[in-house]
Amino acid sequence: MIYLDNAATTIWKPQQVIDAVAEAMQSMGNASRGVHAGALQAARTVYDTRRKLAHLFHCGNPSNVVFCSNSTEALNTAVNGTIGAKTHVITTELEHNSVLRPLYRLQREQGVCLSFVKADRKGRVDYGEFDKLARENTVAVVCTHGSNLTGNVLDIARIGEIARMHGLLFIVDASQTAGVIPIDMEKMQIGILCFTGHKSLMGPQGTGGLCVREGVSVKPLKTGGTGVQSYRRFQPEEMPVRLEAGTLNSHGIAGLSAAVDYIEAIGMDVIWEREQQLMQRFYQGVAGLENVQIYGDFATWKRAAIVALNIEGIDSNEVADELICTYGIATRPGAHCAPLLHRALGTESQGAVRFSFSWHNTEAEVDEAVRAVQEIAGRI
Ligand SMILES: Cc1ncc(COP(=O)(O)O)c(C=O)c1O
């Protein structure tokens, strides 16, 4: 199989990640639940991973790196834990349902008003809109760093500056960028950064978290055992246990730790360059084809390694089926949990076929994918 569905999850993981998980599964106790060797080893690994992620994202204090199962849980925690009833929030039409659904729920249950920065036909936003939409009761800007449909990357430093000027909390969904595009929470004025471990970070599924800027208070989404302050009736106030009830996925976190080491050793810029080359190679191969419509902005300085396209009026599911059945190429058709962006692109009913590249793909795989698209499009 030629795997070009890396925006969903990266299948290829560094061997050291696999080894770290296997080793952890044979030796780790429960982090912060005891002082025996197994528990201490787990606690040390978890702390060490917080430290590495705090460094990677410029979060400052490692205690403000909170682990959870993926960015969906991180976004639910961030949105529900900071946005009060009857306030106003600015978000965008690029968002994934992991942002939209928590916000729609607050809209329905808490009377929160939502304003959406529009996407144009190339999936681009007008940055001035963030400024124009701010009003007296606005409390937050919640937006994605990279679109999982078009691969367009937003200038979050610019949005962060607008949020700062208006005194708004800036919540960023870095699901498509964490691990491959540098993120500096300090410089970009990010209040809460939500990440997932299993995509570009190349860690195990079931890992992810949120990095909370010092001074930002987040109400816990869940409460329960923390291994500390057991006689208190309420969740401890201090981070990270405030937001981490229940046993952590220490096995997965051990893998995530090894994944961060791997990325640091190779260099994020090297990984990014490689992914861009593969993505551009594919784009060049399909861009001029008759009957092929490509979505997104390819003139920008920075993109995620994604190319979404359609072939004439063929349903995207049919194209993806043919790609896997005839050519052994795995892609992702349909709506990609991005309903508003599909509406903006005019692909609501057809969906789109998303090709997404990892640094482990090869030129030969890309060329095979180009050939497949050429053949399918050529038959029309
Ligand atoms: C932009 C974006 N946000 C959020 C998510 C949710 O990630 P997870 O399923 O790891 O929670 C995804 C996953 O595809 C995504 O692409």
Taking the CA of residue 72 as reference, the ligand 1 atom at the shortest distance is 11
* DSSP bridge pairs for 353: 309
Peptide bond into 240 cis (omega under 30): yes
Determine the pLDDT at residue 34: 87
For 17, list phi and psi in degrees, rounded to 5.
-70, -45
Q: Taking a C-beta distance cutoff of 8 angstroms, is the pair 7, 227 a contact?
A: no
379: tokens are 């038959």
Q: 281 and 227, same structural domain?
A: no
Helices (H) and strands (E) in the chain, counts: 11, 12
**Structural domain ending residue among the three candidates 266, 283, 313:** 266
Q: 80 and 51, same structural domain?
A: yes
Kindly state if the Cβ of 148 falls inside 6 Å of ligand 1: yes
Between the CA of 84 and the centroid of ligand 1 the distance, in Å, is: 24
Q: 107 and 71, same structural domain?
A: yes
Q: Determine which residue's CA is closest to atom 7 belonging to ligand 1.
A: 71
How are beta strands 306-311 and 329-330 bridged, if at all?
unpaired
**Structural domain ending residue among the three candidates 244, 266, 288:** 266
Full residue range of the structural domain in which residue 335 is found: 2-10+267-378
Q: 76 and 114, same structural domain?
A: yes
Determine the pLDDT at residue 138: 98
Between the CA of 39 and the centroid of ligand 1 the distance, in Å, is: 31
Q: Taking a C-beta distance cutoff of 8 angstroms, is the pair 286, 293 a contact?
A: no
Q: DSSP state, 303?
A: B
For 75, list phi and psi in degrees, rounded to 5.
-65, -40
Query: What parts of the chain have a pLDDT lower than 50?
Result: none
Q: 354 and 255, same structural domain?
A: no
Q: Taking a C-beta distance cutoff of 8 angstroms, is the pair 94, 146 a contact?
A: no
For 12, list phi and psi in degrees, rounded to 5.
-75, 125
Kindly state if the Cβ of 189 falls inside 6 Å of ligand 1: no
Q: Which of 106, 116, 107 is nearest to 81 (CA)?
A: 106
To 10 degrees, what angle do helices 37-57 and 250-266 make? 40
Q: Ligand 1 test: best mutation among 5, 9, 96, 200, most atoms within 8 Å of CB?
A: 96
Match 């981070």 to its residue by tokens.
239
Kindly state if the Cβ of 177 falls inside 6 Å of ligand 1: no
Q: Which of 94, 339, 66, 10 is nearest to 194 (CA)?
A: 66
Q: 209 and 240, same structural domain?
A: yes
Kindly state if the Cβ of 98 falls inside 6 Å of ligand 1: yes
Q: 300 and 290, same structural domain?
A: yes
Q: How many structural domains is the chain composed of?
A: 2
126: tokens are 């007008």
User: Domain with 70 in it: what CATH number?
Assistant: 3.40.640.10
Taking the CA of residue 71 as reference, the ligand 1 atom at the shortest distance is 11
- Between CA 335 and CA 263 the distance in angstroms is 30
Between the CA of 75 and the centroid of ligand 1 the distance, in Å, is: 10
**Structural domain ending residue among the three candidates 220, 249, 266:** 266
Q: 216 and 230, same structural domain?
A: yes
Kindly state if the Cβ of 76 falls inside 6 Å of ligand 1: no
Q: 273 and 144, same structural domain?
A: no
61 to each of 177, 255, 320, how far by Cα in Å?
21, 21, 44
Q: Ligand 1 test: best mutation among 75, 100, 144, 196, most atoms within 8 Å of CB?
A: 196
Kindly state if the Cβ of 49 falls inside 6 Å of ligand 1: no
Q: 285 and 140, same structural domain?
A: no
Between the CA of 175 and the centroid of ligand 1 the distance, in Å, is: 5
Taking the CA of residue 9 as reference, the ligand 1 atom at the shortest distance is 14
User: Domain with 347 in it: what CATH number?
Assistant: 3.90.1150.10
Task: Please tell me whether residue 212 adopts helix, strand or coil conformation.
Answer: strand
Q: Taking a C-beta distance cutoff of 8 angstroms, is the pair 150, 95 a contact?
A: no
Q: 166 and 182, same structural domain?
A: yes
Ramachandran quadrant class, 164 (left: phi over 0; alpha: psi -120 to 50; beta: rest): alpha
Match 């969904």 to its residue by tokens.
173
SS (H, E, C) 96-149: CHHHHHHHHHHHHHHCCEEEEECECCCCCECCHHHHHHCCCCEEEEEEECECCC
Q: What is the pLDDT of residues 206-240, one digit of tens each?
A: 999 999 999 999 999 999 999 999 999 999 999 99
Kindly state if the Cβ of 70 falls inside 6 Å of ligand 1: yes
Determine the pLDDT at residue 301: 67
Q: Ligand 1 test: best mutation among 69, 143, 210, 337, most atoms within 8 Å of CB?
A: 337
- Between CA 343 and CA 119 the distance in angstroms is 9
Q: 285 and 245, same structural domain?
A: no
Kindly state if the Cβ of 96 falls inside 6 Å of ligand 1: yes
